[in-house]
Structure 1
């Protein structure tokens, strides 16, 4: 108490004298109640924002993904842009529409496989995509939705989307291919996941990824150009074959059998 009074004396002598004049029998009580010289009580310190709270803004802005499996995954044309803007893992590009990209990449890089989190986007070529929808979306597809895309420099347009009914550019339904993957890979086909080989080579895929019209242009190597040329020939061959197979069916459907000519006297009573 003596040290505190010295400080007060140095700062204001008149205040010290006035305080001294007020002392009496209850001197100790008055000193305890003097706000100028009293030491802040512990409860006053606690009333101020705790140091731990002041230093925890990062925790307050973290995304709470505890219920991310229950959130609906909305997918529109605008969710598809330059394929090369996504995260590349081996020959595919990955994203997550709910922002949970770390969980998506963890499954993709796991040697044991796993179930991809909702919002996961998987693309190998610019014109096709798979999106992991919310739990319960479609049991037959493990909650994947398949997309066929029309890609242009101006943006992307969803041509077809859905489950079992969606077919790729070669006329094959997407599900029949992806369903052959070992269950631990969650319907993602790679060369060693159990899916049947597709007619598109690795060089063709790289060429398509480099020529995504929504991306900044990339210089093509001679190998890229040859692969893209071979791909064009393959596509034309597949289209011609499909047309030839469909022609007899169309002819059968359009054939009309003429009714027999009525015999003389028919229709007379």
Structure 2
């Protein structure tokens, strides 16, 4: 099931729920066709009063019980999802209104199953069915290989999933305050990510799954800086991996054991 397109992306992230307003009755009175007749109101006893109509509640519990099936095809153009304060959200089970309500709540809340949250095209987190993974609050993390042909899931799961900077997703998202349901935004308690807002916007604009967008100079500069940042991180990772081998190669060999002293003959060494 593909995520339904509704708005903009992670760089803008301000999104509104549209609610249908009830049509108000007209104040115009129909033209009188004859004399108005006053009808006496019968005296109704309390016991004869009509019982209040019972409120009808819609049971949507089935959505919470559904298994959230996720394939490559569920990840399309990031800009086809709903933008909320710099991130994009969707819902694979169609419960987008509930997802947006939590995303826009100043008090936070628990996202409904099927919720998809993305900041950049190559990473996503999806809310799975209740009981999927207690350690992740039932979130599953994804790293995606993105191309013009679509998405390929490169890795998925919990703490074993790492971002391009070598950090596991769970350790970052677990820092969020409980009320934010592990979704990181400014002020939610998570450590800042190493990329700037301009870089994020540029990545959203250059999602290969989307229709091309014209880049501004600030976007091009941000992408250039991002490339340098990634190369620096790769160099640091390579140096860290090579350090143990270098230390082992330069390790000083233990000194050779001392040779036994030759026995002293009688009379030698005496004056």
The TM-score, its normalising length taken from structure 2, stands at 0.69
Match of 1:227 among 201, 215, 222: 222
| Corresponding position of 1:211 | 206
5+ residue gaps, structure 1? 1-62, 256-269
Q: Distance in 2 between matches of 1:253 and 1:102?
A: 58
| Corresponding position of 2:112 | 117
| Corresponding position of 1:197 | 192
Q: What's the Cα RMSD here?
A: 2.0
Report the secondary structure of 2:153's partner residue. Answer: strand
Q: Distance in 2 between matches of 1:171 and 1:229?
A: 20
Report the secondary structure of 1:93's partner residue. Answer: strand
Match of 2:153 among 149, 158, 161: 158
The answer to whether the aligner puts 1:247 opposite 2:242 as a matched pair is yes
Give the CA deviation at 1:215: 0.2
Larger radius of gyration: 1
Report the secondary structure of 1:148's partner residue. Answer: strand
Give the CA deviation at 1:67: 1.8
Post-superposition CA distance 1:128-153 (Å, at most 9, x none):
00000000000000000000000000
5+ residue gaps, structure 2? 1-57, 251-271
Comparing both structures, which one devotes a greater share of its residues to helix?
A: 1
Give the CA deviation at 1:250: 4.6
Number of residue pairs the alignment of both structures matches? 196
Post-superposition CA distance 1:185-212 (Å, at most 9, x none):
0000001101011110000000000000
Q: Distance in 1 between matches of 2:245 and 2:97?
A: 50
Report the secondary structure of 2:121's partner residue. Answer: coil
Match of 1:170 among 165, 168, 186: 165
Q: Distance in 1 between matches of 2:95 and 2:249?
A: 53
Report the secondary structure of 1:67's partner residue. Answer: helix
